[in-house]
């Protein structure tokens, strides 16, 4: 067996293992074979490891598949119009617009310090804009970039606090929080104070609290900081579930590899109108 044959066989196995439909997998392998034959390049130089190339292909096939099978978005849940914000003479946001419908995910991106958290906090009603309006139709869950947990409470006590806002019993609050935590591969029943949780686990707690009661609009400010690779994947699966359940989700993110999967991208890089 040649190097090319071995690499193509591995690619075929990996594509199928990742659930790429067999017609598509055959096509991808045939295209790669033609490229290798015509270019004379070794497969590692042309495509990299077979498993990594299969991952890229399966992500993009998954994105196209997700887009094709999704129902059209529902009514507008969040409409931010012409948002302006300055701190003293420092203009952070100028004329920023964002509309997100039920069943959509919006990504807010941009360089460090360009105003992503400021914009999300304005959408959450935590700070006021200097100009512009935010209209929200429904309930809101907000996950901050950090903070948000109470040092001397256990995770389940956080769930009870948030559940109380939904008129839930203590037991229902605990059980719902524990179930949501399990989707992030976290056992939230341990009697540990939140100040003793790792940074990543505190972010899981923040994320679970934001999602309790499945609010209509979820505002998530880089919620995955400190997550390991597996939890990061679980996080995006949760985002797609919320979207498929008709929630409007806004995620501040630096992870540009997810952008072909989201419905709306708001890039705040130049959102100060050049007046920083
Ligand atoms: N309360 C405040 N008072 C004064 N300046 C502030 C305040 N909050 C934020 N800023 C400034 O506003 C700008 C935008 O901050 P913000 O945290 O919104 O940016 P960001 O895009 O979320 O940054 P990062 O990607 O680093 O999280 C920064 O220059 C920041 O220093």
Residue nearest atom 4 of ligand 1, based on CA coordinates: 87
pLDDT of residue 166: 92
Q: For position 188, which CATH number holds?
A: 3.40.50.300
Q: What is the pLDDT of residues 26-77, one digit of tens each?
A: 888 888 888 888 888 889 888 888 888 888 877 776 666 666 667 788 999 9
Pocket residue to mutate for ligand 1, from 118, 121, 221, most atoms within 8 A of Cβ: 118
Is ligand 1 within 6 A of the CB of residue 118? yes
Question: Alpha-carbon distance 21 to 26, whole Å?
Answer: 9
Q: Are residues 158 and 231 in the same domain?
A: yes
Q: What is the pLDDT of residues 81-136, one digit of tens each?
A: 999 999 999 999 999 999 999 999 999 998 889 999 999 999 999 999 999 999 99
Per the listing, tokens 């998530």 go with: 220
Residue nearest atom 3 of ligand 1, based on CA coordinates: 87
Residue nearest atom 23 of ligand 1, based on CA coordinates: 113
Q: Are residues 24 and 104 in the same domain?
A: no
Q: Are residues 45 and 109 in the same domain?
A: no
Is ligand 1 within 6 A of the CB of residue 91? no
pLDDT higher than 60, residue 275:
no
Side-chain-side CA neighbours of 90 within 13 Å: the count stands at 6
Residue nearest atom 1 of ligand 1, based on CA coordinates: 87
Q: Name the token pair of 272.
A: 């100060």
Q: Are residues 59 and 90 in the same domain?
A: no
Q: Name the token pair of 29.
A: 């392998």
Handedness of CA 163, 144, 70, 62 (dihedral sign): negative
Handedness of CA 180, 183, 188, 190 (dihedral sign): positive
Q: What is the pLDDT of residues 145-193, one digit of tens each?
A: 888 899 999 999 999 999 999 999 999 999 999 999 999 989 999 999 9
Q: Are residues 62 and 94 in the same domain?
A: no
Which letter does DSSP use for residue 236 in this model?
H
Residue nearest atom 28 of ligand 1, based on CA coordinates: 113
Q: Are residues 185 and 244 in the same domain?
A: yes
pLDDT of residue 52: 85
Q: What is the pLDDT of residues 200-255, one digit of tens each?
A: 999 999 999 999 999 999 999 998 888 887 888 888 889 989 998 999 999 998 76
Q: How far apart are the CA of 116 and the centre of ligand 1, in A?
A: 8
Q: Are residues 162 and 52 in the same domain?
A: no
Is ligand 1 within 6 A of the CB of residue 112? yes
pLDDT of residue 40: 87
Q: Classify 143 as helix, strand or coil.
A: strand
Q: How far apart are the CA of 82 and the centre of ligand 1, in A?
A: 19
Q: Are residues 132 and 172 in the same domain?
A: yes
Is ligand 1 within 6 A of the CB of residue 87? yes
Is ligand 1 within 6 A of the CB of residue 41? no
Domain of 24, in residue numbers: 3-69
Is ligand 1 within 6 A of the CB of residue 113? yes
User: Of ligand 1's atoms, which has the minimum distance to the CA of residue 112?
Assistant: 25
Residue nearest atom 31 of ligand 1, based on CA coordinates: 113
Strand (E) positions, the chain? 76-87, 90-101, 104-109, 131-136, 140-143, 217-221, 248-252, 264-267
Q: Are residues 64 and 166 in the same domain?
A: no
Helices vs strands, H then E, count in the chain: 9, 8
Q: Are residues 184 and 235 in the same domain?
A: yes
pTM: 0.78
Distances (CA, A) of 137 to 38, 55, 76, 124: 56, 38, 7, 12
Per the listing, tokens 């009697």 go with: 191
Q: Are residues 200 and 136 in the same domain?
A: yes
pLDDT of residue 79: 98
Pocket residue to mutate for ligand 1, from 114, 122, 253, most atoms within 8 A of Cβ: 114
Is ligand 1 within 6 A of the CB of residue 117? yes
pLDDT higher than 60, residue 274:
no
Q: Are residues 163 and 222 in the same domain?
A: yes
The total number of structural domains that make up the chain: 2
Side-chain-side CA neighbours of 178 within 13 Å: the count stands at 14
Q: Tell whether 276 is covered by a domain.
A: no
Q: Tell whether 118 is covered by a domain.
A: yes
């Amino acid at each position: 067996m040649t190097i090319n044959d071995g690499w193509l066989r591995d690619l075929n196995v990996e594509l199928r293992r990742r659930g790429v439909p067999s017609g598509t997998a055959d096509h991808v392998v045939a295209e790669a074979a033609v490229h290798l034959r015509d270019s004379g390049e070794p497969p590692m130089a042309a495509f990299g490891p077979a498993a990594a190339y299969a991952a890229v292909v399966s992500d993009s096939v998954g994105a196209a598949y997700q887009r094709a099978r999704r129902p059209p978005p529902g009514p507008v849940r969040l409409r931010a119009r012409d948002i302006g914000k300055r701190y003293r003479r420092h203009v952070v946001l100028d004329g920023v617009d964002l509309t997100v419908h039920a069943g959509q995910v919006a990504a807010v991106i941009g360089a460090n310090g360009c105003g992503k958290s400021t914009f999300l906090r304005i959408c959450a009603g935590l700070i006021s804009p200097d100009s512009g309006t935010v209209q929200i139709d429904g309930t809101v869950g907000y996950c901050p970039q950090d903070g948000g947990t109470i040092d001397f409470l256990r995770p389940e006590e956080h769930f009870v606090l948030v559940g109380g806002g939904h008129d839930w019993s203590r037991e229902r609050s605990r059980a719902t929080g524990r179930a949501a935590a399990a989707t992030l591969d976290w056992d939230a029943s341990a009697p540990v104070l939140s100040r003793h949780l790792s940074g990543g686990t505190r972010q899981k707690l923040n994320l679970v609290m934001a999602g309790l009661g499945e609010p209509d609009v979820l505002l998530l400010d880089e919620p995955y900081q400190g997550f390991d690779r597996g939890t990061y994947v679980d996080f995006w699966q949760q985002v797609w579930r919320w979207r498929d359940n008709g929630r409007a989700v806004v995620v501040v993110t630096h992870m540009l590899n997810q952008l072909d999967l989201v419905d709306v991208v708001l890039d705040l890089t130049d959102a100060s109108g050049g007046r920083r």
